[in-house]
Chain A
């Protein structure tokens, strides 16, 4: 790696006083009315989204207030187990016991049948250079379900027919 050089100016040091902010005892309140019903369905192995009657936007995970028309959505709809990658990135992190930081993919997915995206996980050790926008995924349920987000263990990449179609198009052109 080349070290990027830049023109630096040295400023004289003056006296500094050190201090700390204590940031541990904060409390946050949030409304679990909608999300609890969704988690109950997750325990049964079902995916449900919340549909707004006024603009037909389906949110998954459910939202208390529709982002488009500010109404309270109240219609539960069942969603399919497949999803697509809405956007992604890759990051390097050190787990306990690692000497070198390892690459991890980070994806935001859109559940098929829903109109919103949220952060999800790919299988451990998946190469993020293989991920692309619009990649199809399928849900992998956890063995023992607890009725929370950990019931979705990860999303598994599945075969994408559009890759072959794109290849054919390229060769024809």
Chain B
């Protein structure tokens, strides 16, 4: 095993639907300044920079070349990672490997998205247009395909998962709304989040119209502008920078089969969209590296990627934190609240803030800050072990980082 990577700091920019006062480069700079201010580190200490965002969503080609000066990348090794919705998680894993390999001492992981500048439809068409043209070529009616694809884009994948999850676990729409209310209330206590709704009630959420059954307008994620930055370094360097280092003990990145349509218009092998074998395998791999044998007891905090409320329930089960089909009952009892036994998404989650490329990195960043005790909406519980999770729509790519306040232990045995 290589060098043990350590997180010393994490920073955010302000998130809003339209950050009209800054451009992409300035937006990225905000988060990096915040990250550098939180620890005793300057831009000269950084050896390598990793940057990522969702390709084509911001309407600029090769944006990392534009922002070179704004993120202090002049004369330094620079790597761009983009893997769709999980870009942030992949950036975190790339930074982990850059440090673990021993090539670089201090690595800056950055991710951003300014969706108000570009068109999400253009970005998604680069993903879906190939499949759509094949279906049309084979005689699939255009009107029908438009409707099927309309429900089958990112929200559709969430809707299919929700339908199967609800039919499996018998949870109701009220349970889904409860997740939303908790997240939006948490977001109101955080300075950098987008949808701050301190007075939201379950009835208000259930009063909004359907977008894709069973997901309503009040339940879906917004489109945000924002960025996130994190500093990874070695154990020795961390002592110079901060008193509260966070150890990255395990990472995993696992992809499952495509969600609804596959290549060459073939059938999809994944019959139940909420089964999520990829999440189970990624959990097994990452927990094995981190020496976690009993995730439901050992993990104190979870930051999961949940643009839609059913996903938050689903991921907590698939990542081994709750028994299958019981997550919605735990939400009713308030176990996942900020002051509960297992706080989940104290930052408000992707549900309240979704700068797509940065979202998965924000999950890792928030989990690290909760362990450091520097988070905006800090949980009163003492947090030793936390997970930061990411999910990408079309291919069900899962990224998982396991963080702790101690270096990794020896593996004891199966989950």
Contact = CB atoms under 8 A, between A and B. Distances in A.
Contact of A68 (B135, B164, B269): B269
Interface size class of A (residues with CB under 8 A): 35 or more
Interface string B196-211: 1111100011011111
Contacts of B199: 5
A77 B118 CA distance: 47
Interface in A87-108: 87-93, 95, 104, 106, 108
A95 B143 contact: yes
Given A89-B212, A148-B138, A64 B195 contact: no
A64 B21 contact: no
Interface in A67-94: 67-68, 86-93
Contact of B266 (A4, A64, A86, A90): A64
A151 B59 CA distance: 40
B267 A63 contact: yes
Contact of A67 (B130, B197, B207, B269): B269
Contact of B263 (A30, A62, A95, A110): A30
Interface residues of B, number: 67
B50 to A, nearest CB: 27
B212 to A, nearest CB: 5
Contact of A87 (B143, B257, B272): B272
Nearest to B164: A87
A35 B138 contact: yes
Interface stretch (B12-20, B368-376, B388-396): B12-20
B66 interface: no
Contacts, number: 172
B125 interface: yes
Contacts of A149: 135, 138-140
A167 interface: no
B151 interface: yes
A2 B218 CA distance: 10
A12 interface: yes
A60 to B, nearest CB: 5
Contact of A108 (B133, B184, B209, B260): B260
Contact of A9 (B14, B22, B262): B14
A89 B269 contact: no
B249 to A, nearest CB: 32
A146 B139 contact: yes
B66 to A, nearest CB: 14
B329 interface: no
Nearest to A128: B213
B264 interface: yes
Contacts of B59: 19, 21
A35 B415 CA distance: 42
B264 A64 contact: yes
Interface in A3-33: 4-9, 11-14, 16, 19, 21, 23, 26, 28, 30-32
B257 A67 contact: yes
A99 to B, nearest CB: 16
Interface in B115-149: 122, 125, 129-130, 133-135, 138-141, 143-144, 146-148
A4 to B, nearest CB: 6
A119 B269 contact: no
A116 B163 contact: no
A10 to B, nearest CB: 9
Contacts of B163: 87-89, 133
B266 A1 contact: no
B261 interface: yes
Interface in A103-154: 104, 106, 108, 110, 114-119, 121, 128-129, 132-134, 146, 148-151
A46 B160 CA distance: 29
B334 interface: no
B268 interface: yes
A35 B134 CA distance: 11
B78 to A, nearest CB: 25
Interface of A: 1-2, 4-9, 11-14, 16, 19, 21, 23, 26, 28, 30-32, 34-35, 39, 57, 59-64, 67-68, 86-93, 95, 104, 106, 108, 110, 114-119, 121, 128-129, 132-134, 146, 148-151
19 contacts: A4-B197, A4-B200, A7-B198, A11-B19, A11-B21, A23-B122, A31-B264, A35-B138, A60-B267, A62-B267, A63-B266, A67-B257, A87-B272, A90-B151, A91-B147, A91-B156, A116-B267, A148-B138, A148-B139
Q: Which 10 A-B pairs have the closest CB atoms?
A: A148-B139, A116-B267, A63-B266, A90-B213, A91-B151, A89-B159, A67-B269, A7-B196, A11-B21, A150-B139
